[in-house]
Amino acid sequence: MPNHKRLFGTNGIRGVVNKELTVEKTIKISSAIGNFFQKGNLIVGYDARTSGPMLARAVIAGLTATGCNILLVGMAPTPALQFAVKKHQTDGAVIITASHNPPEYNGIKVIWNDGIELSREQEIKIENIFFNDEINYAEWNRIGTIHDLPGVINDYIDAIKKHVNTDEIAEKQFHVVVDPANSVGSLAAPRLLRELGCKVTTINANIDGTFPGRLPEPRPEYLKDLSLTVKAVNADLGVAYDGDADRAIFVDEEGTIYWGDKTFALIEKHFLMENPGEKIVTPVSSSTLVKDVAEAYGGKIVWTKVGSVTVSHKMKELNAKLGGEENGGVFYGPHQSVRDGAMATALILDIMAKTDGKLSKLLGEMPRYYIEKGRVECPNELKEKTLERLEKEVSGPNISTIDGIKIWFEDKSAILMRPSGTEPIYRLYAEAKNAEKALQLIHEYAEKLKEIINTLKH
């Protein structure tokens, strides 16, 4: 789409508050969203950021001005709000969150009546209303109403419990350490775990929009306190959420932190043992581990472009029941086809209870891969041509061009090369059975990319 001006990024609208995302702009965006929904009933909620209550009022002003009726939840995890859309059969939701971004950011996620974020085509409609100044305000007697919507977190916790064996989990009396990054993860997960009979220890669990405990992206390097606490209190499991609690990263009883595709592969394995033949939806950036498990347990992998909204929509299209991302996103369809940190936690506990296994052992049994990453500078205007040239030059037994280029080799190694959506670079991800091979792939394909980009420059 050349020259189309964008508001939405990969996961909604994001910006630094009072700089890129001002109250004025938020009102105008929300009025455009209100026009898009054509006077519907919409849930509004926000995460723990300092700007949440302020921007929520701007969002409500814009939405009610265009005739939408508001069901106001207030502070809640994103997946709890998405679940409420389906439960209360509203036309959608507007969630004020910047997910894993630092505290000075905030953003707007728009949810459709199926509980999933809008498709690209729907976002374009809102962008057109916004940029063409096509906002229609309601007559004075058609302005939207505002009502509180209580009980959303209760409903959400009860729904999750229906998908796991609560008695079996309770019997084990697991001790779990929860690190919700001082955000909305605090509102659901600790209670869910207590109701599942777990002993719960929390760190960074007081709600504080400055995020004093750690940055809200659950990257392993930010989770050292969680790892140390799990060891110190002899817990069975540790779990960290991102700022809006849709992603979960796990720590085993020895304090080892795992990246998301490892724990997703464990969930996938147990899901396929009970549901052989099912489809597993995952972005092309996921580890070959996810493919190995599908092959070993009779699942069918469906690769998608990178991005949680794409995974959700593909699951809906194919009626698939499980999806997962390497960043800790687990999509459990029987509950809802969106990533959900608390649901992922309940699934891991269910597996630990059912197998009577420690997480270190359960994950230790999975195939092991070594990952290396790299980057190559590439001017934005050459990204597409580079990809076309690359497609002609590379070979391998198994290639996907669904998002960048991914090549899987016979020796179980793989390389993915993707143009960044935000920076003038290509990102490279290599994976292999040993670290040397992964590094060798990065060097080899970085050279190939540089060559192509240099030729295109001259």
Cα–Cα distances in angstroms (integers) from residue 403 to residues 63, 121, 305, 399, 420, in the given order: 35, 18, 5, 11, 11
Contact partners, residue 199, CB within 8 Å, separation at least 6? 173, 174, 175, 176
Count of chain residues binding Mg ion (CB under 5 A):
4
Q: Which is nearer to Mg ion, 99 or 413 (CB)?
A: 99
Q: Is 99 in the site for Mg ion (CB under 5 A)?
A: yes
Active site residue 99: yes
- Site map 227..246 versus Mg ion, x via CB under 5 A: ---------------x-x-x
Report the residue number whose CB is nearest to Mg ion. Answer: 99
Q: Catalytic pick from 99, 186, 308, 337?
A: 99
When asked if residue 217 is in the footprint of Mg ion (CB under 5 A), the reply is no
- Closest to Mg ion by CB, 84 vs 442, is 84
- With binding defined as CB under 5 A, does residue 47 bind Mg ion? no
| Shortest distance in whole angstroms from residue 247 CB to Mg ion | 5
Site for Mg ion contains 431 (CB under 5 A): no
| Cα–Cα dist 133/6, whole Å | 14
Shortest reach from residue 68's CB to Mg ion, in Å: 24
Min CB(215)–Mg ion separation in Å:
13
Rounded least distance, CB 246 to Mg ion, Å: 4
Binding mask 361-380 for Mg ion (x = CB under 5 A): --------------------
Q: How far apart are CA 43 and CA 456, in angstroms?
A: 49
Q: Among residues 188 and 405, whose Cβ is nearest to Mg ion?
A: 188
With respect to Mg ion, which residue has the nearer C-beta, 78 or 282?
A: 78
Beta carbon nearer to Mg ion, 244 or 340: 244
Pick the piece of the chain touching Mg ion (CB under 5 A) from 91-99, 136-144, 223-231, 320-328.
Answer: 91-99
How far apart, in whole angstroms, are the C-alpha atoms of residue 202 and residue 182? 10
Binding site for Mg ion (CB under 5 A): 99, 242, 244, 246
Question: Could you give the residue numbers annotated as active site?
Answer: 99
